[in-house]
């Protein structure tokens, strides 16, 4: 199992529940495995630890080929003539990542006659039509936990850079200017703020743990799954059942829920009206959980004082995406970066190793770790993609 962080949260959440059994033949030979990864260019040639790239292929090629499997890798994923569309037709296993998502839509899965397993090298399988996978009896497995500390650290960093007004301060230095009051007029301390997470799973809980030493006024969370009592007590987090009530109480909000029917477009103009005026919002979960135009408008009006994150509703984000340029009325409040919080070199090693372990289990007819099973042979195994 991939574990990280200070507490054994996966144990608290029963990661080993629902251990699935696999009915495959004992050994697999000559499978066709395809992977959609992102192009790493020179960086990937110079830095072999960039494992999640087309160039470095999750480090799987020598091992897979030694087992007699065919392994095809590309970043080409859009359109009927793409690598993905053409090769999925007779692939046995498809590997994708959330960083450069190969969208496994129902229509595409309909064409995949031999497909048995979709593996997400990372965390977050919303780019797979999970309902279609359930209908087709496909398994969707991911390397749960592999980058949750990486993301939690990024969330805390993003909270700090927004609250402390860091980005405009640094830009001022690069411009050659020096006017402390222009920065300080919109800079605050994290101490004494009400900090809340939408979704208090592996990442959300780690964020709560990490911000506790800053001395917040209160930690709160909104999640249809309650934290185990001991975990809630450890961080002193109060659960709020109603989302509008929740956002109205928070100074800083972080989104750490998966993208599914119940979270798509969750943060929209209507909900933003219920935020405290001048709140800060950090979203490293999925871009489509927040409405791009509504967030940009809320930042422009000052309803939000800041928005930061690394996930976008379209990736790569188009050059004219409003989140690239949006600013608050004091010309700051934008902490957007490309999707990399969960793909640090440390995280890449963990999700590459985890992908290999999933394949190894599959080849050897061994059970997968329960926490890694999003959709099993009999349907949803996770409780994180909506109340079902």
Question: What is d(CA 272, CA 327) in angstroms, rounded to the nearest whole number?
Answer: 16
In whole angstroms, the minimum distance from the beta carbon of 90 to ligand NAI comes to 30
Spatial CB neighbours of 150, under 8 Å, sequence gap ≥ 6 = 341, 342, 343, 344, 346, 347
- Regarding 101 and contact with ligand NAI (CB under 6 A), the answer is no
Helices (runs of H) and strands (runs of E) counted in the chain: 16, 14
Q: How far is CA 35 from CA 105, 200, 369, 372, in A?
A: 16, 31, 21, 18
Print the binding letters for residues 292-311 with ligand NAI: x by CB under 6 A, - otherwise: ------------------xx
- Regarding 284 and contact with ligand NAI (CB under 6 A), the answer is yes
The answer to whether 2 touches 147, Cβ cutoff 8 Å, is no
Question: What is d(CA 231, CA 252) in angstroms, rounded to the nearest whole number?
Answer: 21
Select the residue interacting with ligand NAI from 40, 101, 196, 199 (CB under 6 A).
199
Q: How far is CA 175 from CA 168, 170, 172, 179, 189, in A?
A: 10, 9, 5, 11, 25
- Interacting positions 39-98 with ligand NAI (CB under 6 A): none
Instruction: Indicate the annotated binding residues.
Output: 123, 147, 202-203, 223, 258-262, 284, 310, 339-342, 384
- Regarding 118 and contact with ligand NAI (CB under 6 A), the answer is no
Select the residue interacting with ligand NAI from 96, 158, 334, 341 (CB under 6 A).
341
- Our CB check for ligand NAI shows the closer of 9 and 54 to be 9
Question: What is d(CA 226, CA 232) in angstroms, rounded to the nearest whole number?
Answer: 9
Question: What is d(CA 209, CA 207) in angstroms, rounded to the nearest whole number?
Answer: 5
Select the residue interacting with ligand NAI from 2, 112, 200, 292 (CB under 6 A).
200
Spatial CB neighbours of 100, under 8 Å, sequence gap ≥ 6 = 36, 37, 38, 75, 77, 315
- Regarding 224 and contact with ligand NAI (CB under 6 A), the answer is yes
In whole angstroms, the minimum distance from the beta carbon of 338 to ligand NAI comes to 10
In whole angstroms, the minimum distance from the beta carbon of 68 to ligand NAI comes to 33
Instruction: Indicate the annotated binding residues for NAD(+).
Output: 202-203, 223, 258-262, 284, 310, 339-342, 384
Question: What is d(CA 110, CA 107) in angstroms, rounded to the nearest whole number?
Answer: 5
- Interacting positions 142-181 with ligand NAI (CB under 6 A): 147-148, 151
- Our CB check for ligand NAI shows the closer of 137 and 262 to be 262
In whole angstroms, the minimum distance from the beta carbon of 166 to ligand NAI comes to 20
Select the residue interacting with ligand NAI from 40, 101, 124, 333 (CB under 6 A).
124
Give the binding-site size for ligand NAI (rule: CB under 6 A): 32
Spatial CB neighbours of 155, under 8 Å, sequence gap ≥ 6 = 203, 207, 254, 256, 282, 284, 341
- Our CB check for ligand NAI shows the closer of 40 and 201 to be 201
Catalytic residues: 147, 286, 315, 339
The answer to whether 125 touches 144, Cβ cutoff 8 Å, is no
- Our CB check for ligand NAI shows the closer of 259 and 299 to be 259
Q: How many CB atoms lie within 10 A of CB 317?
A: 18
- Interacting positions 262-281 with ligand NAI (CB under 6 A): 262-263
Select the residue interacting with ligand NAI from 54, 64, 112, 123 (CB under 6 A).
123
In whole angstroms, the minimum distance from the beta carbon of 292 to ligand NAI comes to 16
Question: What is d(CA 154, CA 207) in angstroms, rounded to the nearest whole number?
Answer: 9
Select the residue interacting with ligand NAI from 101, 196, 306, 342 (CB under 6 A).
342
Question: What is d(CA 309, CA 267) in angstroms, rounded to the nearest whole number?
Answer: 14
Instruction: State in Å, rounded, how far the first CA of the chain is from the last one.
Output: 26
In whole angstroms, the minimum distance from the beta carbon of 370 to ligand NAI comes to 12
Binding site for ligand NAI (CB under 6 A): 123-124, 147-148, 151, 198-204, 222-225, 256-259, 262-263, 284-286, 310-311, 339, 341-342, 384, 386
């Amino acid at each position: 199992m991939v574990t990280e962080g200070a507490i054994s949260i996966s144990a608290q959440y029963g990661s080993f529940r629902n251990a699935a059994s696999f009915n495959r033949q004992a050994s697999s030979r000559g499978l066709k495995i395809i992977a959609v990864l992102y192009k790493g260019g020179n960086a990937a040639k110079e830095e072999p630890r960039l494992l999640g790239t087309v160039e470095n292929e999750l480090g799987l090629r020598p091992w897979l080929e030694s087992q007699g499997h065919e392994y095809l890798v590309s970043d080409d994923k859009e359109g009927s003539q793409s690598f993905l569309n053409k090769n999925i037709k007779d692939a046995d296993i498809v590997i994708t990542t959330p960083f450069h998502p190969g969208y496994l839509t129902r229509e595409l899965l309909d064409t995949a006659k031999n497909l048995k397993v979709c593996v997400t090298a990372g965390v977050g399988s919303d780019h797979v039509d999970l309902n279609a996978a359930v209908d087709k009896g496909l398994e969707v497995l991911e390397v749960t936990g592999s980058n949750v500390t990486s993301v939690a650290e990024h969330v805390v960093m993003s909270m700090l850079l927004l609250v402390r007004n860091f980005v405009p301060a640094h830009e001022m230095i690069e411009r050659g200017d020096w006017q402390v009051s222009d920065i300080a007029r919109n800079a605050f301390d994290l101490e004494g703020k009400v900090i809340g997470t939408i979704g208090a799973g592996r990442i959300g809980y780690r964020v709560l743990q990490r911000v506790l030493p800053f001395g917040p006024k209160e930690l709160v969370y909104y999640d249809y799954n309650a934290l185990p009592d001991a975990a809630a007590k450890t961080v002193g987090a109060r659960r709020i059942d109603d989302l509008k009530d929740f956002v109205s109480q928070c100074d800083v909000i972080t989104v750490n829920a998966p993208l599914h029917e119940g979270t798509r477009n969750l943060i929209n103009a209507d909900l933003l009206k219920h935020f405290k005026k001048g709140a800060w919002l950090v979203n490293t979960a999925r871009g489509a959980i927040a409405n791009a135009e509504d967030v940009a408008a809320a930042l422009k009006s000052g309803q939000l004082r800041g928005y930061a994150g690394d996930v976008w509703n379209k990736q790569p984000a188009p050059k004219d995406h409003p989140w690239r340029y949006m600013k608050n009325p004091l010309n700051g409040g934008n902490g957007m970066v490309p999707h990399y919080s969960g793909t640090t070199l440390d995280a890449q090693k963990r999700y590459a190793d985890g992908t290999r372990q999933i394949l190894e289990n599959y080849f050897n007819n061994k059970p997968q770790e329960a926490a890694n099973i999003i959709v099993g042979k009999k349907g949803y195994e996770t409780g994180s993609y909506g109340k079902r």
